Structure 1
Amino acid sequence: MTICAYATFADFDTDDEREPMLAAWREAGIEGRVERWDDATVDWSAYDAVVVRSVWDYILKREEFLAWARGVQSVTRLLNPYAVLESNTDKTYLRDLGVPIVPTHWSSLELPDWPEYVVKPSVSAGARDTTRTADRAEAARLAAELEATGRTPMVQPYLDMVESEGETSLLYFNGRLSHAVRRSAMLAAGATEADNARARLRTPAPDQVELAEKVLTAIPHVLLYARIDLVRLSDGRPAVIEAELTEPYLFLNYEPKAAARFATALRELL
């Protein structure tokens, strides 16, 4: 029996994809055991592979998380691999993808003249420390505050298209498209946490699939899982918001075959 660790964090009961995932692993002949990534008592070498999943507190201690990932990879298979996690946990990786991304200004100086701004740190998740403002001076101040604490700011235009078109997330397992969902705009006026968690299946357009697969081609590593988040710019072209390769929510509960596809991909890589 192949045994894999399902790496999570202290508040693992918030992960509603854990049980469907582990059930699919069992069907594929893989025993999955839930382990906290920061539990120093775990013998990671006892596993055939460690699958990084709901490690949703890594943004509070990124260096510790990366040290853990480096150590795990030295004793067993880590999926996704360390080099991917190191790059992907800081959104400055977007500058190197070589594909269209949401326009981004990486400092507090000489901000472009946009109707509205979104300001966030390059190491963040789930809109943490993210602010939307129409005041350019306020946007510059917020970006400067991030710089003062040693963080890299990301200043982007707020895109109205996300409220009508939504964000499109394409889910890939071992390089194959499993499913895609339309996600609500997290910073829309009046949006609630429940709204942000809501999604629905979507058939991605050919230009969205083409862009997502260009992103995957640009990453020189085997990926067990990838979530490519896209939005349309004002001229209708798709652009990358993020390539989620560390601990993305996979929307398994929206596509009945998704968990089995993930398990098949894991089996293939083992």
Structure 2
Amino acid sequence: MSICAYVTYEDPEGDDDERGPALSAWREAGIEGRVERWDDPAADWASYDAVVVRSVWDYIARRQEFLEWARRVASVTRLMNPCPVLESNTDKTYLRELGLPTVPTHWSSRDLPDWPEYVVKPTVSGGARDTTRTADRDRAAELAAALEAAGRTPMVQPYLDMVESEGETSLLYFNGRFSHAVRRVPMLGPDAADGRRARLRTPAADQVELAEKVLAAVPHPLLYARIDLVRLPGGEPAVIEVELTEPYLYLRHEPRAAANLAAALRELL
């Protein structure tokens, strides 16, 4: 039986909705999963056949420490997703290099475009942390400037009403295969909620096409990938985020999802 670490953070109960189904499915696939905190100095990473990064949701304030940990782990065992993926994916400036349709983004506090509403956030963030929605262009510039003054890179985007009507569509892939998709409740709209509120959705053909182009652009094997898409005012899909580090996978939303993840892990092992 293979032994794999399921890597979490200091609050292991924080992802219980994910961890329980995942570890149960791993066991059925012949994989023993053991929960480890990524920053636990006593963890023996070399003893694992693979180390699977999951709910490392506190890395945002400790990104360099997290990446140093990832490099150490990758030097003694297999890390999933691989270290180069974690290095690039934990800073959203990767969107500039994607070469595919993305939500329009301004990367500075200066010369902001004239948009009806703005969303301002740092490039290293998660769960709408340090994210503000405002209709005031000067306020948006001030928020972006404050991030720059703190040594952080701002990203300023237009707020898209389509997020409330059409919603964000998240497509989940395990080892490159489509597993399921969900419509996520917007975290900045009038019904704002945490990102775990969602319902299953059948993605449209143009969304699948774009998501698979995103996957094809990543030159590394991926145990898991979540491609978050929105529709622009013209109706065309665009990437809002490519989640390859610690995405919530909505395993309880699709009955086969946990088994799909386990099968992908078994294949990569």
Q: TM-score range by the shorter chain?
A: over 0.9
Residue 135 of structure 2 is aligned to residue 116 of structure 1: no
Distance 1:139 1:183 in 2: 25
Q: What letter is aligned with 2:20?
A: E
- 1:71 to partner: Cα distance: 0.3
- 1:79 to partner: Cα distance: 0.2
Q: Deviations over 1:29-62 (max 9, x none)?
A: 0000000000011110000000000000000100
Q: What letter is aligned with 2:207?
A: Q
Q: What letter is aligned with 1:65?
A: F
| Identity percentage of aligned residues | 77
Q: What letter is aligned with 2:155?
A: M
- 1:192 to partner: Cα distance: 3.9
Q: Deviations over 1:189-231 (max 9, x none)?
A: 25244xx431100000000000000000111000000000000
Normalized against structure 1, the TM-score is what? Answer: 0.98
Q: Map 1:1-270 onto structure 2 (within 5 A).
A: 1-15=1-15, 16-193=17-194, 196-270=195-269
Distance 1:253 1:129 in 2: 28
Distance 1:50 1:189 in 2: 39
* Equivalent residues of 2:6, 2:35 under 8 A apart: yes
Please list every run of 5 or more consecutive structure 1 residues that lacks an aligned counterpart in the other structure: none
Q: Deviations over 1:80-122 (max 9, x none)?
A: 0000000000000001111000000000000000000000000
RMSD, aligned α-carbons = 0.7
- 1:182 to partner: Cα distance: 0.4
- 1:14 to partner: Cα distance: 1.2
The 4+ residue runs of structure 1 with deviation greater than 6 A are none
Distance 2:35 2:190 in 1: 38
Normalized against structure 2, the TM-score is what? Answer: 0.99
Count, aligned residues:
268
Distance 2:125 2:62 in 1: 11
Q: What letter is aligned with 1:231?
A: V
Q: Deviations over 1:153-207 (max 9, x none)?
A: 00000000000000000000000000000011110025244xx431100000000
